Amino acid sequence: MEKRVVITGMGAITPLGNTVKDTWEGIKNKVCGIDNITLLDASDFKTSLAAEVKNYDELEYFEKKEAKRLDRYTQFAMISAREAFKDSKITQNNTDLNRVGIFISSGIGGLTTIQEQCGNLFNKGHRRVSPMFIPMGIVNMASGNVAIDLGLKGESISIVSACASSTHAIGEAYRTIKQGYEDAILAGGSEAPIIDAGIAGFENMKALSSSIDKNRASIPFDKQRDGFVMGEGGCTVVLEELEHAKKRGAKIYAEVIGYGATSDAYHITSPTPDGDGATRAMKRAIEDAKINPEDIDYINAHGTSTHLNDSTETLAIKNALGDASKKVKISSTKGNTGHLLGAAGALEAIICTKAIEDQIIPPTINYKEKDEECDLDITPNEVVKSNIKIAMSNSLGFGGHNASIIIKKYEEE
């Protein structure tokens, strides 16, 4: 018999705040976390804006020696995981930590370390490459360090699927618990790509917005959109088998009821023009959840603010939901947070959970000009009170990776 899977903890460090509470307050208050880049000298770039984590001092979270051995993306993963784990109130006294897994993903991993150490190699010679280069740079070290930090000994993996990474992590964690392999899993993602190599790479493929107005840079579904805004941060949720959570008296935020994942098999960066891959991911999630399309009250769209993503995702939602797409509330919160790449899905899963908890639809902020290709109800600019029982979150990644999860208000059956 399949198990039910619930969310019992959440943690976040984002461009809107260094906790879930502060991040959610920023969403509700329509705060734009985008501003001028400070993490590097961007004067020679066309890109001048990013969504950086604010007021971050690594020594508030780590000893100096430890911080030097952790890439920024790993630090964010550990900070969000600590908050989520503490929030869940899981301890060795109420849970077998051998059955608590860690599925923390990243789209890129330790890019700061990679850039720094490659610079050392080319400028100073191979003997100046740090022995910590590999342990700090590889993508799985977020999961590995979280496991060490919290003493968790269940399955530890890192799924790398570009901007779908942390939605895949949550979805696969849901399946793992559903089948009885673990009692709980910390799932999410982390990213720290705001460095010269990250900006240059995305800028040169013409993926980033060149706007100098922070309120008109990340503008999902707006006709004037010209690219995404790079974001950074880490977000983690604790997924737990329902009976295990009830037995230890855990607070249950919501229930994960559906997950779907597909591949476009089309192009390394562009989605299929007809939105087929994203459509099938949503349909798989709906089928897995055993619901009808009209049961979905809110969709947190991938909504990156690139021309292709927003128009194609709109078409995919229409194809997946049919007539129900005309009524469902949709928004993209990337106007608030920028695009956290591999951490975006986990952040947006938290936003869906909080939206269900507070019964509000977060808006698509800074929206001005309607695009005929994006003609669904995208909840422009203003928070809307709404009866939300079921929410869906979409994530789409370079390489044609598509993932959708469905989150439901928790109810006893």
Instruction: Please work out, in degrees rounded to the nearest 5, the angle formed at the alpha carbon of residue 25 by the alpha carbons of 23 and 30.
Output: 100
Q: Residue 26 is encoded by which pair of tokens?
A: 């920023």
- In the prediction, which pLDDT does 94 show? 98
Residue among 292, 304, 101 nearest 186 (CA):
101
CA dist 137 and 112 (Å) reads: 8
Print pLDDT tens along the chain (413 aa). Answer: 899 999 999 999 999 999 999 999 999 999 999 999 999 999 999 999 999 999 999 999 999 999 999 999 999 999 999 999 999 999 999 999 999 999 999 999 999 999 999 999 999 999 999 999 999 999 999 999 999 999 999 999 999 999 999 999 999 999 999 999 999 999 999 999 999 999 999 999 999 999 999 999 999 999 999 999 999 999 999 999 999 999 999 999 999 999 999 999 999 999 999 999 999 999 999 999 999 999 999 999 999 999 999 999 999 999 999 999 999 999 999 999 999 999 999 999 999 999 999 999 999 999 999 999 999 999 999 999 999 999 999 999 999 999 999 999 999 87
CA dist 189 and 143 (Å) reads: 9
Cα 250 from chain centroid (whole Å): 24
CA dist 300 and 18 (Å) reads: 21
CA dist 154 and 59 (Å) reads: 29
Q: Is 266 helix (H, G, I), strand (E, B) or coil?
A: coil
- In the prediction, which pLDDT does 106 show? 98
Q: What is the pTM of this model?
A: 0.98
- In the prediction, which pLDDT does 1 show? 80
Crossing angle of the two packed helices 141-150 and 72-88, in degrees rounded to 10: 40
| Cα–Cα separations (whole angstroms), residue 407 to 145, 171, 299, 358 | 28, 11, 10, 14
Indicate the pairing of strand 298-300 with strand 329-331: parallel
Q: Residue 294 is encoded by which pair of tokens?
A: 């009209």
CA dist 345 and 401 (Å) reads: 12
Number of neighbours of residue 186 by Cβ within 10 angstroms: 32
Residues involved in catalysis = 163, 302, 339
- In the prediction, which pLDDT does 297 show? 98
Number of neighbours of residue 353 by Cβ within 10 angstroms: 23
- In the prediction, which pLDDT does 412 show? 85
- In the prediction, which pLDDT does 413 show? 73
Residue entry with tokens 């740079």:
137
Crossing angle of the two packed helices 111-124 and 72-88, in degrees rounded to 10: 160
Question: CB–CB of 276/393 below 8 Å?
Answer: no
Q: Residue 316 is encoded by which pair of tokens?
A: 């995919």
Q: Residue 172 is encoded by which pair of tokens?
A: 């696969």
Q: What is the set of domains in the chain, with CATH numbers?
A: 5-247 (3.40.47.10), 257-408 (3.40.47.10)
Q: Phi first, then psi: what are they for 334, rounded to 5°?
A: -75, -10
Crossing angle of the two packed helices 307-321 and 276-289, in degrees rounded to 10: 40
